[in-house]
Amino acid sequence: MKNPAVWKILSVDDIPEVHSLLKIAFKGFQFEGRTLQILTASSAGEAQQVLSSDPDIAVAIIDVVMETARAGLDLVRWIRQDLGNFRTRLIIRTGQAEDYPEPELMTAYEIHDYWEKVETSMKRMRTSLVTCLRGWRDYLLMESRSLQMTHWADRFPDLLGVRDWMSLVRLLLLRLRELFPGEVLATFLCRNDGNVWPLVTGSGRFPSEGAPDILPFIQEDEVGLILQAWDHQGLHETDRALALYFETHGGQGFLFFWETPSVWGKYERGVARLILQNFRAALDNLSLIQDLEEKNDELLSVESKPDGASVSAVVNGLEVLKFLTAQPRLGEASLRFSRLAEALSHVVRLVGHQTVAETWDFAMIVRSCVDEEWEFWSVPVRLRLKEVFSWIILVMDLIDAAEKDTPRRSGRSPGILRITDEPREFCLESPFPLKPIYQTEWKALAEQLGGAFAIETQESIRTVWKLTFVSRP
């Protein structure tokens, strides 16, 4: 069992007196308030058993010549290569320096120091041991931090899967307790009701629930931090605490406060900041998903026109939308879905609920959806209503991909959009090299809709994408 009050040292030598001398040499030794516990092994084989069963040995002091002339060196290789232990600091000790010279061993083996049994003084050994213990301590710290960040990275996707913000807060608190198991977390979540900040939940020195106003429980400097976070609608911090102000999808304001322990350094505060930034990203993702769900509801609730074309057309558009955004609605996929859903909503509003003609001017509809920075050349191209909704999604996805890949230069158009009637084509021409990131999807969907997508030109100074579409009866 790990004993944090001592540093475990393993002495490996086939001469019992050497172990006794080592214990005398380090009698009364302390480093960072901890004493030594010296374990012994009389052979390389016995040392293997000890090291295999106890991962908390900080330093192993190993004689070279034991059951064989190179038993200690073979043990070093076994520790590093077979056991896979790179944490324990290794010191080679030998009485045959002429046969095992220090420069060669320090270069050829993963060791941290070299002692000659006769020449090494007590002062030298103590200095060497302090250096090794410091290295062991730092290695464990880096290993712990690496595991901590890996743990958070593995758990962060859980936040993105939560569908209501209060469950998101509860999951955040659970993850904080997992990441900082030895800390008593002092946190609270409160609601902004204008003149008062009612407590939703708290931990540590704050009430767990029920307080009508959190302000009486916080200090003056903490009030200033909270007001800063509120004023800037985001994350603010001091060397003692972090405060994150956010609003839910319905517009209600909340504040999450986290008091950081005084012993925390730059790394721990950086981790805390990263966690709250990730939490904010998860909140934004949740809000986006709720926005998308509302847009879906809006699209699906469109009333049917007298000829039945409207509902059928919207359903066609939704099927195209699903095809192009089949990935999970996270990150870039969510943003893509949102932009295309907004375009579809715009067309629904544009068409309206009146009695409609047999066909609509597709060029006019595209023009109403695109950024004014594009040059737009077109002639009237009439399509049936049920096809307008399908083709507009595909066209807007091409334009959106081009805009994301086009450098913004003052006074320079991102390119030219052309719509022709004979043949019926949509052409996107840009004076920049563009990446057709959804090329496979565009081709497949165009074919499914009875048309074709092609990259006509792909050069370092010019890009031309062409979409051919038809109006099917």
Q: Report which listed range, 48-52, 173-177, 188-192, 221-225, is most confident.
A: 48-52
Are 126 and 209 found together in one domain?
no
> What total number of domains does the chain contain?
3
Give me the sign of the Cα torsion angle 174, 180, 181, 185.
Answer: negative
Q: Is residue 204 part of a domain?
A: yes
Alpha carbon distance 397, 390 (integer Å): 11
Are 282 and 317 found together in one domain?
no
Q: Higher model confidence: residue 429 or residue 286?
A: 429
**High-pLDDT (> 90) share of the chain, %:** 29
Q: Which whole number is the average pLDDT over 43-57?
A: 94
User: Cis before residue 101, ω within 30 degrees of 0?
Assistant: no
CA distances from 202 to 165, 179, 213, 214 (A): 16, 18, 12, 10
Count of alpha carbons within 13 angstroms of residue 394, beta-carbon side = 33
Q: Report the mean per-residue pLDDT for the chain.
A: 82
pLDDT at 319: 64
End of a domain among 288, 316, 350? 288
pLDDT at 313: 53
- Check which CATH number belongs to the domain holding 191 and give it: 3.30.450.40
- Check which CATH number belongs to the domain holding 324 and give it: 3.30.565
Are 139 and 270 found together in one domain?
no
Are 38 and 104 found together in one domain?
yes
Are 131 and 22 found together in one domain?
yes
Q: Which whole number is the average pLDDT over 367-384?
A: 87
Are 278 and 399 found together in one domain?
no
Q: What is the pLDDT of residues 322-360, one digit of tens each?
A: 666 555 444 455 567 667 777 777 777 776 544 445 678
Are 331 and 419 found together in one domain?
yes
Are 337 and 422 found together in one domain?
yes
Q: Is residue 195 part of a domain?
A: yes
Are 112 and 216 found together in one domain?
no
Q: Higher model confidence: residue 306 or residue 22?
A: 22
Alpha carbon distance 427, 430 (integer Å): 10
Going by their DSSP bridges, the two strands 186-191 and 253-259 should be labelled as antiparallel
Q: Is residue 85 part of a domain?
A: yes
Q: Is residue 217 part of a domain?
A: yes
Q: Is residue 138 part of a domain?
A: yes
Q: Which whole number is the average pLDDT over 287-303?
A: 61
CA 439-444-448 angle, to 5 degrees, is 145
- Check which CATH number belongs to the domain holding 26 and give it: 3.40.50.2300
Q: Smallest Cα–Cα separation from 283: which of 255, 256, 246?
A: 246
Burial of 431 (0-12, 13-18, 19+ CB in 10 A): middle
Q: Which whole number is the average pLDDT over 405-434?
A: 82
Q: Is residue 152 part of a domain?
A: no
Are 27 and 116 found together in one domain?
yes
Q: Is residue 296 part of a domain?
A: no
> What is the distance in angstroms between the CA of the first residue and the CA of the last residue of the chain?
79
Residues 6+ apart with CB under 8 A from 134: 31
Confidence of residue 89 (pLDDT cuts 50, 70, 90): very high
Q: Higher model confidence: residue 343 or residue 467?
A: 467
Q: Report which listed range, 51-60, 99-108, 143-152, 319-328, is most confident.
A: 51-60
Which pTM was predicted? 0.52
Are 103 and 14 found together in one domain?
yes
Q: Smallest Cα–Cα separation from 401: which of 341, 336, 355?
A: 336
Are 315 and 417 found together in one domain?
yes
Domain carrying residue 222 = 161-288
Burial of 413 (0-12, 13-18, 19+ CB in 10 A): middle
With left for phi above 0 and alpha for psi between -120 and 50, is residue 319 left, alpha or beta?
alpha
Q: Is residue 473 part of a domain?
A: no
Residues 6+ apart with CB under 8 A from 39: 8, 9, 10, 11, 50, 54, 57
Q: Rounded to an integer, what is the distance from CA 221 to the centroid of its chain?
A: 31
Alpha carbon distance 374, 354 (integer Å): 31
pLDDT at 307: 44
Q: Where are the beta strands (DSSP E) in 97-141?
A: 113-116
pLDDT at 129: 93
pLDDT at 320: 66
Q: What is the pLDDT of residues 170-212, one digit of tens each?
A: 888 888 888 887 778 889 999 888 888 899 988 888 998 888 9
pLDDT at 37: 94
Q: What is the pLDDT of residues 98-129, one digit of tens each?
A: 888 898 999 899 999 999 887 778 888 999 99
pLDDT at 332: 56
